[in-house]
Amino acid sequence: MDELLLRRLTPSVLGALVRRGADFAAAEDAVQDALVEAVRVWPADPPRDPKGWLVTAAWRKFLDATRADAARRRREELLHDEPPPGPAPVADDTLQLYFLCAHPSLTPSSAVALTLRAVGGLTTRQIARAYLVPEATMAQRISRAKRTVSGVRFDQPGDVATVLRVLYLVFNEGYSGDVDLAAEAIRLTRQLAVTIDHPEVAGLLALMLLHHARRDTRTAPDGSLVPLAEQDRARWDTTSIAEAVVILQAALARDRLGEFQAQAAVAALHADAPTAEETDWVQIVEWYDELVRLTGSPIARLNRAVAVGEADGPRAGLAALAKLDASLPRHTAVAAYLHERAGDLATAVKLYVEAAGKASHLAERDHLTRRAARLNAHRRR
């Protein structure tokens, strides 16, 4: 049984049912039932047209459920629309499903869960394990999301930027449970790139590939964080980096710069440097200037302060940092790093300890605590 094939076909099958008039929530349930049936039947009797088989099976599941529902009389006219035997139509509603699952009326967590279920083809159990929550909790979240979008017209235009943010949220969840969400986000973004010709889709795909290329070097065997400057670059995935650079260059050549392209450009400059010392920090500052211009993001300004500290010296970085809100996430950690670079170890130790107390993740807290302890030991020598 080709599980990846089933997951790849899920959005187009769901889209076919919704386009024929099925309510989104009922259609999604019917598709899930059809996938279960496929897992049972296909090993012994594989279909010649897998998508056509799934569309027909899902439509019949939907009609069965409709007949048993109090709304049967209102939906009876749908019965004559059952797809005839033969190859499935080539129409692909995947893009509309992306837009629907990233509807602005949904919370980010609900949009992510619905995208993984309806577009990614993951089961509720898989999504729950990935997010380390009970299956019942995730089922409720998905059900609420389906009810929210059930009344949304399927032919309404969607917002590409919202879809991309949802996919980036999926990517940033990384890996937990039995589902690699980073890899799943890359798969879905590749699928989106085939469906829509948009430079920001390409920019996001390039950004994901560049970050993913460094994945195996970000943590030590004991689970502790490894800063970018200390990572073993020989272990970076050069194939993914090369693919990302080609994708990014093609996107930038279209002269429609967006935030994901700018972020990918920064990541590409890091990936291109043979050593941390050879990083082109001047160009990175310029790309952060573009990112700030595009988004006004305080986090982009924070990262720019780090880059300025590397390009023009730690005092310049601290001057840039002083203009930002001290309550920003990682602000204290950045200040600690720049003071360390400037040789003010006493202040750096104090700030590292303070930053560790604010850290939201255990690995980050441990990293900052160890950094403070190491500097403290160095001061006492």
Model pLDDT for residues 334-376, shown as the tens digit of each residue:
999 999 999 999 999 999 999 999 998 888 999 999 999 999 8
Helices (H), the chain: 3-19, 24-41, 50-67, 72-75, 94-101, 108-114, 124-130, 135-149, 160-172, 181-195, 199-213, 238-252, 259-272, 281-295, 298-312, 314-321, 331-341, 345-358, 362-379
Q: How far is CA 148 from CA 110, 116, 153, 263, in A?
A: 10, 16, 12, 32
Residue 135 lies in a domain: yes
What pLDDT is stored for residue 88 in this prediction? 42
Residue 305 lies in a domain: no
Total domains present in the chain = 1
Domain span including residue 25: 3-87+94-162
Cβ neighbours for 342, distance < 8 A, ≥ 6 positions apart: 314, 315, 318
Residue 134 lies in a domain: yes
Residue 225 lies in a domain: no
The lowest-confidence range among 168-172, 225-229, 309-313 is 168-172
Residue 111 lies in a domain: yes
- State pLDDT tens for residues 272-284: 999 999 999 999 9
Token pair, residue 212, equals: 């993913």
- State pLDDT tens for residues 74-90: 544 544 455 555 444 44
Contact present, 342 and 314 (Cβ < 8 Å): yes
What pLDDT is stored for residue 89 in this prediction? 43
Residue 25 lies in a domain: yes
Q: What is the pTM of this model?
A: 0.79
What pLDDT is stored for residue 276 in this prediction? 95
Number of residues that make up the chain: 381
Residue 149 lies in a domain: yes
Q: Specify the DSSP element, H or E, that contains 180.
A: strand 179-180
Q: What CA–CA distance (Å, rounded) separates 211 from 227?
A: 13
Q: How far is CA 299 from CA 82, 267, 322, in A?
A: 51, 15, 14
Residue 65 lies in a domain: yes
The lowest-confidence range among 135-139, 237-241, 360-364 is 360-364
Contact present, 227 and 334 (Cβ < 8 Å): no
Q: Which of 240, 285, 248, 282 is nearest to 264 (CA)?
A: 248
